[in-house]
């Protein structure tokens, strides 16, 4: 039995879109993006809690996040182990499915509804619209970027596409059933309404923006029914009102059941529903005229990023900075398609697409911490890609009419050649921008914490023989912790490996005993300044791809503290490194002794350092974080800290003062100190040399 031509064309088109989407999302996924971004690591840390039997529907850390993505990651770790590839593969697969679902949605919106009319040209245009929307989604730089990024956002695009495709499958089933449905639902139609509800409910378990999808679907169906009742929406009206109402009730009923576990969590944890959005909402301080202006500016910037070169999202971890969603030729098609859709708004297909853009872009209008921002408009995918597809078809129709004097063969050669060019062009530009420009850029490596993954990979091949010291710009950096220690979120600040110690080499340097065979790794994000490298004779040897270094230093301090600031922290010595020519900046260096960690005191201490004038008054004061936090203080350990301050000159500086202030607490009180300040002489040499 032969496959019907329409079905064969459907499956061939779907296969083509999926192959293209897979190529862009799976090729070199092991190496691009490089490293592992902190947000990816945060979700992976929660996934480790799932594997430890502590899975939730909502994870409250990091401002609160819906949990289904973490469960999927946990499954990936079970199958493949914990690697950056395992973290990103689920997102890549979601992106492939989203592109295929965009093509399916195009079939339901255009082909399935046009095939009943028997218009050959209209049917060809419908097929082209569906194929173009699928390919524009598959080759979109924006969607490719988020599909290769192991965070939750791309799942919104997948669930939105599947929800809308199933919804229109259900609507078309009612219209095809005609009188046989008797104004109600047949079994097949009911099934698709339920499937749409399933997808819509699941979408809410991935990302906050998905909460707008039920609002959009409800407004569209209600509007279509009301306009039908008012005899406004005439092409076509809702033929089977009772069937649509019953289907909508089934859709929202199934969605509510699927959403129920998350809904129960929100009811039993007041504030969690708005926790994340409330942090960035323009309405958090109430509504006023200025609020309206802020929302209007955010809306303009977030819409402009779709079409205007140089006005796209500037965050490198979300975009090639400034890149617009559409390249100029496709932006022109999108604007044309938008105009065609507005002109045809009485057709429910076009009003559906217009309402989709308006409702699903609105989260970016209300969240105003930064604009433009691509993650918060992910909900418009794949709907927004139908506008250039509609514009392409409209433009080809216009061109065909202008070429009427040519032969059919010549006319088809020009129009279909142009169509092929416009369909292929976005993919070529995306390949260049993503794989040849964005991926290899050093700035991308920095944004995706390559220094931490470089350190992890090096340690996989070179297990440390003694204590391990890691310098990073973030304490207990999640990108390293999740890969090296594989510690879940609930145990994140628990000391799993007593040999692992964290510090920030921009502010401090550990002084392990040389006989302990220490391994010190320093990332590009937290390198020691040159004057400390010279003072401590630190040698940095690149490892891996050069984003991190193995450090060696023979500098070590014997002896006990002279001044104990607390039971665990004492000062051995302070000395200064004045500028060579008498003008410029002075470096004030402290050498500390520790008697063990303060496990629960995670926040950094502040070191406040001052220079004193001849009369004992403070003439210069600086403050900086102590680069070794209390949980990292070792029994019998030592480390160096420093601060840089303006040098007032030899004749003005006659002494120094120092105090240590814990976070949100009074200063530490050494014996004899006034308000925590310890007065010290101006020494110019360290207690011991290298």
pLDDT along the chain (690 residues), means of 10: 67 95 97 95 95 92 89 96 97 98 97 69 88 98 97 96 97 74 70 96 93 95 85 64 89 97 91 66 59 82 93 94 96 97 92 96 81 92 97 93 84 89 96 97 95 96 94 95 93 87 97 91 95 94 93 86 90 90 87 92 92 90 95 94 91 91 92 89 71
Confidence at residue 384, expressed as pLDDT on a 0 to 100 scale? 97
**Dmax (CA) of the chain:** 103
Distance, in Å, from the CA atom of 43 to the CA atom of 60, rounded to the nearest integer, reads 12
Confidence at residue 63, expressed as pLDDT on a 0 to 100 scale? 81
Confidence at residue 366, expressed as pLDDT on a 0 to 100 scale? 80
Confidence at residue 1, expressed as pLDDT on a 0 to 100 scale? 42
Q: Give me the helix-helix angle, 408-431 and 5-26, nearest 10°.
A: 30
Distance, in Å, from the CA atom of 595 to the CA atom of 567, rounded to the nearest integer, reads 7
Confidence at residue 690, expressed as pLDDT on a 0 to 100 scale? 44
CB 126 within 8 A of CB 6: no
What Cα–Cα distance (Å) separates residue 235 from each residue in 217, 346, 391? 19, 6, 20
Contacts of residue 496, Cβ cutoff 8 Å, sequence gap at least 6: 485, 487
Q: Which residue has the tokens 């088809």?
A: 412
CB 54 within 8 A of CB 75: no
Domain annotation for the chain: domains and CATH numbers: 10-442 (no CATH), 454-552 (no CATH), 563-680 (2.60.40.10)
Confidence at residue 326, expressed as pLDDT on a 0 to 100 scale? 97
What Cα–Cα distance (Å) separates residue 388 from each residue in 148, 152, 340, 483, 508? 24, 26, 10, 42, 54
Q: Residue 646: how many CB atoms within 10 A of its CB? A: 14
Report pTM.
0.91
The two tokens of residue 143 are 């969607």
Confidence at residue 279, expressed as pLDDT on a 0 to 100 scale? 58
């Amino acid at each position: 039995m032969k496959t019907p031509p329409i079905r064969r064309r459907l499956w061939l088109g779907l296969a083509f879109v999926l192959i293209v989407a897979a190529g862009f999302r799976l090729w070199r996924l092991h190496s691009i993006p490089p490293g592992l971004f902190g947000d990816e690591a945060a979700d992976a840390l929660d996934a480790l809690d799932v594997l430890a039997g502590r899975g939730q529907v909502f994870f409250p850390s990091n401002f609160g996040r819906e949990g289904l993505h973490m469960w999927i990651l946990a499954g990936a770790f079970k199958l493949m182990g914990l690697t950056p590839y395992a973290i990103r593969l689920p997102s890549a697969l979601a992106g492939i499915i989203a592109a295929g679902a965009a093509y399916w949605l195009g079939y339901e919106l255009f082909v399935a509804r046009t095939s009943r009319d028997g218009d050959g040209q209209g049917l060809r245009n419908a097929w082209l619209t569906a194929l173009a929307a699928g390919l524009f989604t598959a080759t979109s730089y924006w969607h490719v970027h988020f599909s290769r990024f192991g965070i939750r956002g791309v799942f919104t695009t997948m669930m939105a596409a599947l929800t809308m495709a199933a919804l229109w499958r259900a609507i078309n089933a009612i219209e095809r059933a005609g009188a046989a449905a008797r104004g109600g639902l047949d079994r097949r139609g009911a099934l698709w309404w339920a499937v749409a509800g399933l997808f819509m409910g699941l979408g809410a378990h991935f990302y906050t923006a998905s909460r707008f999808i039920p609002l959009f679907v409800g407004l569209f169906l209600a509007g279509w029914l009301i306009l039908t009742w008012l005899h406004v929406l005439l092409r076509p009206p809702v033929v089977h009102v009772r069937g649509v109402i019953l289907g909508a009730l089934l859709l929202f009923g199934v969605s509510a059941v699927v959403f129920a576990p998350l809904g129960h969590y929100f009811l039993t944890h007041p504030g969690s529903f708005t926790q994340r959005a409330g942090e960035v909402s323009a309405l958090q301080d109430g509504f006023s005229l200025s609020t309206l202006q802020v929302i209007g500016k955010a809306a303009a910037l977030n819409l402009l990023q779709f079409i205007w070169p140089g006005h796209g999202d500037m965050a490198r971890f979300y975009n090639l900075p400034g890149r617009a969603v559409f390249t100029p030729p496709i932006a022109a098609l999108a604007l044309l398609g938008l105009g065609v859709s507005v002109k045809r708004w009485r057709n429910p297909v076009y009003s559906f697409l217009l309402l989709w853009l308006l409702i699903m872009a609105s989260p970016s209008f209300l969240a105003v911490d930064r604009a433009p921002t691509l993650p918060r408009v992910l909900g418009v995918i794949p709907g927004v890609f139908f506008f250039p597809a509609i514009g392409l078809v409209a433009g080809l129709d216009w061109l065909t009419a202008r070429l009427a004097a040519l032969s059919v063969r010549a006319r088809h050669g020009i129009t279909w050649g142009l169509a092929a060019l416009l369909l292929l062009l976005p993919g070529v530009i995306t390949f260049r921008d993503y794989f040849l420009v964005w991926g290899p850029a050093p700035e991308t490596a920095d944004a995706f914490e390559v220094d931490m993954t470089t350190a992890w990979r090096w340690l996989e091949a070179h297990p440390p023989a003694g204590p391990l010291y890691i310098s990073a710009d973030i304490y207990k950096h999640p990108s390293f912790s999740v890969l090296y220690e594989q510690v879940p979120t609930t145990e994140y600040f628990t000391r799993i490996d007593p040999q692992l110690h964290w510090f920030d080499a921009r502010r401090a340097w550990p002084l392990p005993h040389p006989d302990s065979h220490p391994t010190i790794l320093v990332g590009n994000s937290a390198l020691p300044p040159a004057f400390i490298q010279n003072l401590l004779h630190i040698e940095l040897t690149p490892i891996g791809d050069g984003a991190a270094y193995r450090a060696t230093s023979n500098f070590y301090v014997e002896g006990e503290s002279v001044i104990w600031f607390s039971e665990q922290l004492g000062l051995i010595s302070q000395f200064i490194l004045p500028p060579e020519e008498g003008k410029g900046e002075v470096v004030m260096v402290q050498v500390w002794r520790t008697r063990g960690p303060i496990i629960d005191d995670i926040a950094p201490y502040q070191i406040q350092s001052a220079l004193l004038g001849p009369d004992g008054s403070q003439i210069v004061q600086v403050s900086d974080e102590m680069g070794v936090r209390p949980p990292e203080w070792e029994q019998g350990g030592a480390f160096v800290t420093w601060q840089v301050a303006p040098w007032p000159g030899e004749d003005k500086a006659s002494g120094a003062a120092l105090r240590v202030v814990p976070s949100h607490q009074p200063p530490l009180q050494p014996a004899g100190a006034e308000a925590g300040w310890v007065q010290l002489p101006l020494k110019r040499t360290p207690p011991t040399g290298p």
